[in-house]
Amino acid sequence: MVTGGREGEAMGPATGISALVQGLVRDHSDVAACVVPGQEPTSTTYAQLLEEVDHTAAALERAGLRPGTRTVLLVPPRQGLLPLVLAVLRLRAVPVVVDPGLGPGAVRTCLREVAPEAFIGIPQAQAARLVLGWARADARIVVTVGPRRFWFGRTLHRLRAATPAMDRDRPLPAPDEPAVIAYTSGSTGAPKGVPLRYRHLAAQFDLLSPLRVWRPAAPVMSTFPPFMVACLAFGATAVIPDVDPRRPLRADPARLVRDVRRHRVAGLFAPPALLDRLSRHCAARRVVLESVTDVVTAGAPLPLAVSERMRGCLTERARLLSVYGATECMPVAAIEARELAETGQATAHGAGTCLGVPLPGVLVRIIGVGDDPVDEWSDGLEVPPGAIGEITVASPAVSDPYLDRPDATRLARISDGDRVWHRMGDVGRVDEQGRLWFAGRKCERVRTGHGELYTDQVEPVFAAVAGVRRTALVGVGPAGAQRPVLVVEPEPGLGRRRRTGLVHAVLEVAGERLPAAGITDVLPHRSFPVDVRHNSKIRRHVLAAWAARRLGRRG
């Protein structure tokens, strides 16, 4: 099945993001580029930001950064990350974006693979570099943001003090020059380095533009640093929340609400799990976020219950958008909460979660589900219209092959002449209206003797059962003969007697709505193991092992 708009070259912002900010200064010199809330909020205008970028770029050039220099940046957003990113891009060096929430071992693996030449970080990151071996052997340029303690290298403060601002008349990068290396979260295995060129970034902005989320001078709060950079690309004001980048889901919802109100935030970006916390907080206190006109969420499908609760915390004019995509191709599709509500009945009866129509310029094809590489495209790969299969995407934003991971690249890409299709690793379908539906992660499908079950066609069926916070479908046993088990996380505070009744209620719903699934085992679990950054991403392989032990003890 094929769906989507015309595929072509991106026509978005200038290839040099720092040059784009320089251009914005002409029209928005007195507009706030970024705001850091707090007891004493700080605000930086676009003119001031450009001056800081110029000075920082000159200092980093003095330290040795050159075009193409792979540069690790481990600096929290509230400690000056944005001007640092723009300064590195101004020099046409290549920022390496490694999620600190991956864990020390995974970060060490990523940095060993990417072999960065420069390491810029706060003192804690520099300590980890020495103690945990983060790029210790590779980085010849070490710059500390903050005080230097027990390591060699220079501080950004001293470099800036000894260096005049650089000349702004610098050549722009070519569209095919490397721009960024971003590491995926590793939810389906080891993290993978995703190289992005300037044309990929321009394509992302081009695809995002029709969503009209970032408006010039509008305050936008994001818990995801790349979206903060997007704020600057569109001339908006980045309001940087007090959120630990390693564990954003532990953010204080009361503080977020206070900062949204104080700074009249118009746009808000947060993953579904954080929206869940925020909406629960607002609903319990009957708080309405009057200034917010747009909420964007990504990283996982938006559950209908969270969508409806969040809608209750917004004004009638506000939009709530769920955006689907991946690090390798972002964005792919988007759906507004009102349309999500219209498809909610189908979701509750096992249809999966609607992701909306693919964005103009994005092509989607559904192929048969498989775990082997597909080197060349052929028409026989596609499933019949409306059938479930693996989601593949072609767009100008599809990244280069994974960094030094040929086997992973071969599994994720299909050559089709001059076009490349990216295998999303997700299972879904396209309906008669051209809308894309998500059925689950391919690697998390349950392969029984009677066929395959997909998590997002099963779990939402139980969302309306009283006392259920969330569920997880897992398989116990060998592939092809797995036993489907539904693990249930009750709402907090549910007593043992009510948990027993909850199991009976879930089994009754399973018999009524999913008789073919053959679910006869329901296990309550106090708190699901989750990805530390994306609480919506349940670690189902851990739950599967736990369920196998529980069922084994039952005999």
Q: What is the pLDDT of residues 224-273, one digit of tens each?
A: 888 888 888 888 999 999 988 777 778 899 999 999 999 999 999 998 98
**Percent of the chain at pLDDT exceeding 70:** 91
Mean pLDDT of 275-286: 95
How far apart (Å, rounded) are the C-alpha atoms in residues 459 and 503?
14
3-state secondary structure of 474: strand
What one-letter code names the amino acid at 35?
A: V
Structure tokens at 152: 């060699």
pLDDT band at 184 (very low <50, low <70, confident <90, very high): confident
Of 447, 442, 454, residue with least CA distance to 411: 442
Is the model's pLDDT at 15 over the cut of 90? no
Contacts of residue 418, defined as CB under 8 A and 6 or more positions apart, other chains included, come to: none
Of 547, 504, 519, 389, residue with least CA distance to 459: 519
What is the predicted pLDDT for the residue at 362?
97
How far apart (Å, rounded) are the C-alpha atoms in residues 301 and 455?
12
Just give the CATH number of 445-554.
3.30.300.30
- Report domain extents, the chain: 50-173, 445-554
Of 404, 365, 399, residue with least CA distance to 382: 365
Is the model's pLDDT at 280 over the cut of 80? yes
What is the predicted pLDDT for the residue at 131?
86
What is the predicted pLDDT for the residue at 14?
43
Mean pLDDT of 501-509: 93
Regarding predicted confidence, which is higher, 496 or 408? Answer: 408
Does the domain at 50-173 match CATH 3.40.50.980? Answer given as: yes
Structure tokens at 438: 């998500």
Regarding predicted confidence, which is higher, 14 or 388? Answer: 388
Q: What is the pLDDT of residues 341-400, one digit of tens each?
A: 999 999 999 999 999 999 999 999 999 999 999 999 998 999 999 999 999 999 999 999
Structure tokens at 52: 């800081």
- Do the Cβ atoms of 422 and 401 come closer than 8 Å? no
Report DSSP state, residue 205: H
Q: What is the pLDDT of residues 208-218, one digit of tens each?
A: 888 888 888 99
Is the model's pLDDT at 188 over the cut of 70? no
What is the predicted pLDDT for the residue at 95?
95
Q: Which H or E element spans position 347?
A: helix 344-348
Is the model's pLDDT at 498 over the cut of 90? no
What is the predicted pLDDT for the residue at 84?
94
What is the predicted pLDDT for the residue at 10?
37
Task: Quickly tell me which residue has 């026989």 as its tokens.
Answer: 380
Task: Quickly tell me which residue has 């319990």 as its tokens.
Answer: 284
**Percent of the chain at pLDDT exceeding 90:** 67
Q: What is the pLDDT of residues 164-181, one digit of tens each?
A: 877 777 788 889 999 999
Is the model's pLDDT at 19 over the cut of 80? no
- Do the Cβ atoms of 196 and 115 come closer than 8 Å? no
What spatial distance separates the first Cα and last Cα of the chain, rounded to whole Å? 45
